[in-house]
Amino acid sequence: MDKLVVKLLVLHAFIAEQRNEYAKMETEDVVEQAFAEGIVAACEFFEEALEHMIEYR
């Protein structure tokens, strides 16, 4: 079970890093900006889900 928690924490860190990278992305292209915002929203969703999984392990 501890191995699972470690894997979840590593995944959480990776997702947080990706979220931060896309959040910093600035572009004039509306499509690229929408894509980046979608990635940020998806990362936030997965971060929250991972936090719940870790809490209920």
pLDDT per position as a tens digit, 1-55: 678 888 888 888 999 999 898 889 888 999 999 999 999 999 999 889 888 888 8
- The answer to pTM > 0.85 is no
Report d(CA 57, CA 52) in Å as an integer.
9
Q: What is the pLDDT of residue 39?
A: 92
Query: Domain range holding 17?
Result: 2-55
pLDDT in tens, 6-19: 888 888 899 999 98
Number of structural domains in the chain: 1
The secondary structure of the chain as a DSSP string is: -HHHHHHHHHHHHHHHHHHHHHHH---S-HHHHHHHHHHHHHHHHHHHHHHHHHHT-
Q: What is the pLDDT of residue 1?
A: 64
